[in-house]
């Protein structure tokens, strides 16, 4: 039996980091598919894959594992355009930040192709192959949403790949529950960050910003095109958690305006106690993840 092949389509921050992290995994060759000469040159200089190509479609018939690392629209379009080119029996993954829309799009694949939605909970505030690194996923969560045809053989292979990349754990859930939780833990944080930065005061705060301000706004320098897709594709779940924060902010504003120290103290105490509790449990190594 010849060497098996992992095809990584899209060598940006996540795709490039995965291609780097997966090199040396069992008997697989890692092939990175790129669109631009600039990305090709950078990926080649970094040794981001065992081999690079401009023709992902031509690699599909021989690929045992395909990892789609484009934006949501790119992933959906790739699945629809090339649905009949995937190798029968292959495993197809994506790394998109929303799962329901992508899992629905994967329904176009033949029954012989196994699709498993994935979301590495890792990243940076910067993007592109130049910022990729093979150690990006160490001790981070790897969320998996198996499709209806997912086989135990492929799930086991995926877990071995995650272990090779040094993920801290693999969390298996449904695409619906993933999108609900990600709306709160990731997308809401980006909404808050860009809301804070969408203020002219941002340009007059130099010399007054501390660690809390930098932490709060760190992810605001995002890719508008991609995050527009992520927000709108997960609109019901995201709108719900944004509404919840709006309600709580309104309660804080009312208490502050009215000088209501008793209410303000109670609200601050509740939030502070919850944060300390979750930090303590995490430090002890307890499982503080919500039940998926």
Domain segments of the chain as ranges: 4-173, 178-235
pTM beyond cutoff 0.85: yes
pLDDT digits (tens, 9 = 90+) for 11-70: 999 999 999 999 999 999 999 999 999 999 999 999 999 999 999 999 999 999 999 999
Give pLDDT, residue 291: 30
- How many CB atoms neighbour CB 159 within 10 A? 15
The SS3 call for residue 52 is: strand
Q: Write the CATH number of the domain with boundaries 4-173.
A: 3.40.50.720
The pair of three-digit structure tokens given for residue 86, joined into one six-digit string: 């995937």
> How many residues does the structure list for the chain?
292
- Distances in Å between the alpha carbon of 49 and those of 45, 113, 242? 10, 24, 40
CB 292 within 8 A of CB 171: yes
Q: Which residues pair with 117 in a beta bridge?
A: 94, 145
- Confidence bin at 109 (pLDDT 50/70/90): very high
Of 33, 85, 32, 40, nearest to 55 (Cα)? 33
């Amino acid at each position: 039996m010849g060497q098996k092949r992992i095809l990584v389509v899209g060598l940006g921050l996540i795709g490039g980091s995965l291609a780097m992290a997966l090199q040396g995994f069992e008997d697989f060759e890692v092939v990175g598919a790129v669109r631009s000469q600039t990305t090709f040159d950078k990926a080649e200089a970094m040794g981001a894959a065992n081999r690079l190509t401009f023709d992902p479609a031509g690699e599909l018939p021989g690929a045992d594992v395909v990892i789609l690392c484009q934006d949501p629209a790119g992933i959906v379009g790739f699945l629809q355009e090339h649905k009949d080119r995937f190798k029968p029996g292959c495993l197809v993954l994506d790394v998109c930040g929303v799962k329901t829309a992508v899992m629905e799009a994967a329904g176009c694949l033949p029954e012989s192709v196994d699709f498993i939605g994935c979301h590495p909970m890792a990243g940076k505030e910067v993007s592109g192959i130049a910022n990729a690194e093979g150690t990006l996923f160490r001790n981070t969560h790897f969320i998996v949403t198996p499709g209806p045809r997912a086989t135990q053989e492929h799930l086991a292979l995926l877990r071995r790949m995650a272990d090779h990349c040094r993920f801290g754990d693999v969390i298996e859930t449904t695409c619906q529950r993933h999108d609900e939780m990600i709306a709160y833990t990731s997308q809401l944080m980006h909404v808050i960050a860009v809301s804070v930065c969408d203020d002219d005061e941002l340009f007059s705060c130099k010399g007054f910003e501390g660690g809390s301000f930098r932490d709060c706004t760190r992810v605001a320098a995002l890719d508008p095109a991609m995050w527009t897709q992520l927000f709108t594709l997960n609109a019901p779940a995201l709108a719900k958690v944004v509404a919840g924060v709006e309600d709580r902010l309104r309660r804080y504003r009312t208490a502050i305006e009215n000088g209501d120290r008793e209410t303000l103290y109670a609200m601050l105490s509740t939030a502070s106690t919850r944060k300390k509790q979750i930090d303590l449990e995490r430090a002890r190594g307890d499982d503080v993840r919500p039940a998926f």
